[in-house]
Structure 1
Amino acid sequence: MFIALRTEVEAALEGALSRLELPTDDLGIEEPPEDVPAVLASSVAFRLAGEMGATPPQVAAQLADEIDVDDLTYVARLETQGPYLNFLPSDAYFAETLAAGTDDDYGALPDRDTSVVVEHTSANPTGPVHVGRARNPIVGDAVANLLEVAGYNVERHYYVNDAGRQMAVFTWAYETFGEDDLESDSDRDRIEYDLVRYYQKGNAYLEEADEEAVEAAEAEIQTILQGLEAGDEATYERVQAVVDQVLGGMRECLERLPAEFDEFVKETRFMRDGSTQELADRLRETEYAVLEEGAWQLDLEEWGIEKKLVFLRSDGTSLYTTRDLAHHEWKFDTYDRAVTVLGEDHKLQARQLEATLDLLGNDTDALDSIHFSWVNLPGGEGMSTRRGTGIMLDDLLDEAIDRARDEVESRLDDRIRDDDLDDADVDRIAHQVGIGAVRYDIVSKQPTKGITFEWEQALDFEAQSAPYVQYVHARCCGILDEAGIGVDGDVETEVDADLLETDAERHLLETIARFPAVIEEAADDLEPHQVATFTREFGEAFNGFYRECPVLADDVDPEVREARLALVAASRHTIANALGVLGVAAPESM
């Protein structure tokens, strides 16, 4: 209903400004401070004061006189407060919010008939996913969820780097060394942990072996790279034998988050189908192409980029970015819009790619990039798959679940444990809370800000964390269960919303009403952390209602009871769907 009210306010202001023959390009609509009872306010009087030759409060009063509130459905009153116009909600606003909130899909926006491909994670298949890269699948998955709820037709892609030097080194090492040559046992019984030892052994050999041995190894590695470039089927199959095994293990790790994909797009696809070579040929024909020391490069100064982009090496082989350019042109041909989630170390590459796509005549307005900073652990451990250092994402998730289980166990007294929760329940809750704590803590921060993951903060049931928000959902489910309705039961929706008249009830309804607008704005900005912020605000609003407004007490009027139960049901749908966007489980009990 917030979106409907905002639309109504916009139309009312535009009409008033038009009648006064004033510009309507900036309405100054904003959410007022918490101590103002309005749902929306307008500061447009500030902008118009000079043009109208009056003070802002005088302008606000004149505009208010031009708006007939009786013509509006969701606005009950319009009040001026100095230079501000404050719009107060009507009974219809609250009644329709309550009815809409009891829908299972509450918050989802209408179909936009627009396809979007969200590419994220895309870590090189050289070994286990480490903690430093955890932000990519978590943020990427949340962005995809957010766009889907906002009405887009979304596909989730993982772009597999299976043609670069790293994979050539990996393939050579896998074929060269045996188990007896490896210096350590596998850290975990899963294929990528086993095979990464070959990759690490190969890199160590290239650093430590004598010059003649290194030259021989480099010749074999170069043969693999040349074979891929030439489209040699036997070389491709050799590399894929490594890539597919490692990628299979990485997928198992990512599914724990969960972060799932519709397609794993391999960069060799764009070499084998000829599109990379075709693109390189087009680039060489542009006025921006220069040949320096045998390598073809692009001069992108016209786009404010000083560093030239090499798109063909002196030996004629393509680079990752060359293949990614072909990949992106395929995206533009297949989808209406492309969103890519990248680490902050890819900013220059992303700028070069966008500029090159532009000079090739592509509509780069359809391209969006989200850059994120790394996740650190206390102590600042370094992360390197090549050297075999760092903390793996699997280890972080295991510890999160163990710590959550300890926290849950500490909160259960013997009676609750015996009567309501068995070991399977505790395990379920520990998994939901532990994984949720990791995801929520990471996605709730602005991507550009670095994160140091702190256990105490992430698993604090009393602070604004995943457990804090998850507990709101569990509390809603508990109330509905106690009322005999249950989570999947039908709550009475034909209730009188006017009975929800306390400040706590009205504040909760207003917060519920904002949810679709939060989805809309967060999707437009590609910022899922806005949804996380909303969940914390929602948690505070619901807990205020829970403290002040008993639902099932014996002395509560039956009609009020039914209205409050509907409000609890609307609250449950709101928080469950918001958590769903973030990829955080909504436990029914905690």
Structure 2
Amino acid sequence: MYRKLENQAAETVQAAIDKLKWDMPVEIKFEQPPNPDMGDLATNVAFQLAGNLKKSPADISLIILENLELPPLIDRAETKGPYLNFFINQTRFFQQVFKSVGEEYGQLELQDQSIILEHTSANPNGPLHIGHIRNAIIGDSLSRILRMGGYPLETQYYVNDMGRQIAMIVWGLQNLDYQLDPEKKPDVEMGKLYFQVNQTLKSNPEIKTEIDAILKTYEQEFPPQLEELFKEVVDKCLAGVMETSQRLHIHHDKFVWESRFIREGRVDAILQELAGYTQENEVLYLDLNQFGVEKELILRRSDGTSLYSTRDLAYHEEKAVKADISIDILGSDHKLALEQLSLALELVGCKKPEVI
């Protein structure tokens, strides 16, 4: 691009010489002035013309200046004694630079290790909070850096579409007189309903049994009417979350729905793989004391339903198979869950994720 600038400046000087009918060969070369205040390019072409024209180089430079027709990349020209100095039009120059290098400028050669990077993955029961935004920004920034580094990479959003929080909102839709405002952001509306159900649950703890029944029926039977309600809650909330993400220019390549791991039998499969390490006392759990983690990892509730951690194990097992490197962007509140997840994955011979 700099060479193009020099060529334009040289053509401009030559055009002025031709216009003046100074029919003598010259070699127009440029150098960088010692001081930025003196311009970006300087030529001493006047010295080459002085002998034939019988004029001082300073006078010749001034005459050339008066006959210049500046190209778009040159903002202005002026003389400094015998030198003719040019000042770049910075705006146009850098527009041309960015246009010429394109989006792939600086991208390294293709690497041989593929990456799945999961970030944001907020529960679809309300709008994103500052912690989610932190993870989203870090995840999206890292994905751009890794892509420029040549890594084949896919960003994923893990959608918790069958957790207890969703069952609570479904119960709210069925039992509370709450009208969602279609004019407002859907994730905000779902968050308000979720809060209202929580308040109702505090004063009426017996409701927990009804919510548990909804969750159990959904996971074990997937009845169409209930499935439609779960989908409505998740879709609306996710639409609001994506609206927020798009305002930050944050993009996900793929959305992975956790219910798929139940439907496809992947959760049952991971439990089978862990069968030699699990214990059962009303709930099915993994005792991690021998590994230095005091809190056991609950894998299945007493009513037979799975937990987020169980489905997350199946998800991470899939990522480990599909990519050479798996990266999770998590908050500090996931420290214990991450320890438990990593140990469980090691027990089934699966690579644990890199975590930020």
TM-score by length of 2: 0.67
2:355 to 360, 369, 374: 369
Tell me, in whole angstroms, the C-alpha distance in 1 between the residues paired with 2:188 and 2:344. 37
Counterpart of 1:251 (choices 242, 248, 261) is: 242
Out of 224, 227, 231, the position equivalent to 1:236 is 227
Task: State the alpha-carbon separation in 2 of the partners of residues 205 and 191 from structure 1.
Answer: 21
Determine whether 1:205 maps to 2:204.
Answer: no
Structure 1 regions of 5+ residues with no counterpart? Answer: 1-98, 371-590
Distance 2:232 2:178 in 1: 17
Q: Classify the secondary structure of the residue corresponding to 1:342.
A: coil
Q: State which structure, 1 or 2, has the greater radius of gyration over its C-alpha atoms.
A: 2
Instruction: Measure, in 2, the Cα distance between the counterparts of 1:146 and 1:344.
Output: 23
Which of these residues, 344, 354, 364, is aligned with residue 342 of structure 2? 354
Q: Is the 8 A contact 1:295 1:312 kept in 2?
A: yes
Distance 1:115 1:233, change over 3 A: farther
Matches within 5 A, 1:187-336: 189-209=184-204, 214-215=205-206, 217-234=207-224, 235-284=226-275, 286=276, 288-292=277-281, 294-336=282-324
Matched, 1:122 2:121: yes
What are the Cα deviations for residues 43-67 of structure 1, in whole angstroms up to 9, with x where unaligned?
xxxxxxxxxxxxxxxxxxxxxxxxx
Alpha-carbon distance between aligned partners in 2 of 1:166 and 1:281, rounded to the nearest angstrom: 27
Alpha-carbon distance between aligned partners in 2 of 1:132 and 1:158, rounded to the nearest angstrom: 15
Shift of 1:311: 0.9
Letter in 1 for 2:143: A
C-alpha distance in 1 between matches for 2:174 and 2:243: 24
Letter aligned with residue 136 of structure 1: N
Residue 243 of structure 1 and its aligned partner are, at CA, apart by 0.6
Q: Following the alignment from structure 2 to structure 1, what is the Cα–Cα distance between the partners of residues 334 and 218? A: 24
Q: Partner of 1:202: helix, strand, or coil?
A: helix
Query: Contact 1:228–1:268 (CA<8 Å) still a contact in 2?
Result: no
Q: What are the Cα deviations for residues 479-513 of structure 1, in whole angstroms up to 9, with x where unaligned?
A: xxxxxxxxxxxxxxxxxxxxxxxxxxxxxxxxxxx
- Give me the CA root mean square deviation: 2.1
Structure 2 counterparts to residues 505-516 of structure 1, below 5 A: none
Count of equivalent residues: 256
**8 A contact 1:169–1:221 mirrored in 2:** yes
What is the CA–CA distance in structure 2 between the aligned matches of 1:281 and 1:311, rounded to whole Å?
11
CA deviation map 1:15-64 (0-9, x unaligned): xxxxxxxxxxxxxxxxxxxxxxxxxxxxxxxxxxxxxxxxxxxxxxxxxx
Aligned match of 1:167: 166
Q: Please name the residue that 2:326 is paired with.
A: 338
The answer to whether the 8 A contact 2:261-2:267 is kept is yes
Structure 2 gap segments, 5+ residues each: 1-96
Work out whether residues 231 and 272 of structure 1, in 8 Å CA contact, stay in contact via their aligned partners in 2.
no
2:105 alignment counterpart: 106
Higher relative contact order (CA 8 A, sep 6+): 1
Whichever residue aligns with residue 193 of structure 1, its letter is V
Superposed CA offset, 1:275-307 (max 9, x none) = 1012112222x1x32223x11211223433222
TM-score w.r.t. length of structure 1: 0.41
Other structure's SS at 2:136 match: helix
Question: Equivalents in 1 of 2:190, 2:218: separation in Å?
Answer: 21
- Which residue identity is paired with 1:314? S
Asked if the contact 1:280–1:312 (Cα under 8 Å) also holds between the matched residues in 2, the reply is no
**Greater than 4 Å deviation, 4+ residue runs:** none
Deviation string for 1:558-583 (max 9, x for gaps)?
Answer: xxxxxxxxxxxxxxxxxxxxxxxxxx
Equivalent pair of 1:159/1:266 in contact (CA under 8 Å)? yes
Query: Cα offset for 1:103?
Result: 4.2
Q: CA deviation at 1:220?
A: 2.4
Aligned partner letter, 1:299: D
Whether the 8 Å CA contact 2:131–2:331 is kept in 1: the answer is no
* Post-superposition CA distance 1:372-412 (Å, at most 9, x none): xxxxxxxxxxxxxxxxxxxxxxxxxxxxxxxxxxxxxxxxx
How far the C-alpha of 1:196 sits from its partner, in A, is 2.2
**Identical-residue share of aligned pairs (%):** 39
* Contact kept in structure 1, 2:216 and 2:303, CA below 8 Å: no
The one-character-per-residue Cα deviations of 1:60-105 (angstroms, maximum 9, x if unpaired) are xxxxxxxxxxxxxxxxxxxxxxxxxxxxxxxxxxxxxxx9xx8443
Q: Take 2:238 and 2:246, find their aligned partners in 1: how far apart are those partners?
A: 12
Conservation of the 8 A alpha-carbon contact between 1:270 and 1:326: yes
Deviation at 1:221, TM superposition (A): 1.0
Q: Is the 8 A contact 1:174 1:199 kept in 2?
A: no
For 2:239 and 2:136, the matched residues in 1 are separated by 16
Aligned partner of 1:169: which letter?
A: M
- Supply the distance in 2 between the matched residues of 1:334 and 1:132 (Cα, whole angstroms): 28
Counterparts of 2:321 and 2:223, CA distance in 1 = 27
Match of 1:247, SS state, is helix
Aligned partner of 1:61 in structure 2 is none
The residue identity in structure 2 corresponding to 1:362 is: C
For 1:357 and 1:236, locate their aligned partners in 2 and report how far apart those are by CA, in whole Å: 30
CA distance in 2, matches of 1:127, 1:251: 12
